[in-house]
Amino acid sequence: MKRLIILLGMILILAACNSPSQNDGIEENNSEQNEAETNDESVSNQDEEETETTDNEEKTNKDSEAVDDNEEDKKSSDNNKGNEKSIEDQLVDLTYDIFAAQRNLDYDYLESVLSEGSTLDKDKKMFTFNNVKYPHEQELLDEIQEDHLEYRYINDENEDYIIVGFAAIDYENESSFTIDFQYIKENGEWKMNDMDVNK
């Protein structure tokens, strides 16, 4: 019995929702007025958008002209510099070359990049750095693979020398250490004045 009453109540509710009412005519009139107002608003919005689009295009054109001018300035300054590398790039490249020369035991190259007061003992495979605050000897780093080297930093705050820092990282053996190269300028060329290994 309860089920029958619930079923009849549901049928009445559904029938009430689907039956046309007197309010439909009023709603149709309101919807027509709303559509007309919406059309008027959309026309005025289109006019505003067209104006904004024109303004934005003008700004974009001015901005692109400014960017073009800046790019031309950069290109002309780059052309003036030619293929010159920055001091940092020169020293990083020099350091990679020194690592390669140590691996290949290229003593002639190593002697050519040493500063005055620094020496290379070929028999012992040892550098001697005397022109530093704490004179010391340093073995050649002939076992460091290039793919284990990472450039870390450059310190050029001192007027007399520049330090270039590298790390040697062996991920398989989970070991690492840092190598600081000190360069000084002699006769217009950068020379290695020190190589300090921090293990």
Would you say residue 47 lies in a domain?
A: no
Say which residues have a Cβ less than 8 Å from residue 160's Cβ, sequence separation at least 6: 184
Asked if 139 contacts 161 with a C-beta cutoff of 8 angstroms, the reply is no
- Which CATH number covers residue 133? 3.10.450
* Domain span at 167: 87-198
The percentage of residues in the chain with a pLDDT greater than 90, rounded to a whole number, is 48
Of 106-110, 152-156, 157-161, least confident by mean pLDDT is 157-161
pLDDT of residue 37: 55
Give kind and range of the element (H or E) at residue 95: helix 87-103
Residue 169 has pLDDT above 90, yes or no: yes
Would you say residue 15 lies in a domain?
A: no
Residue 10 has pLDDT above 90, yes or no: no
Number of structural domains found in the chain: 1
Amino acid at 158: N
Residue 66 has pLDDT above 50, yes or no: no
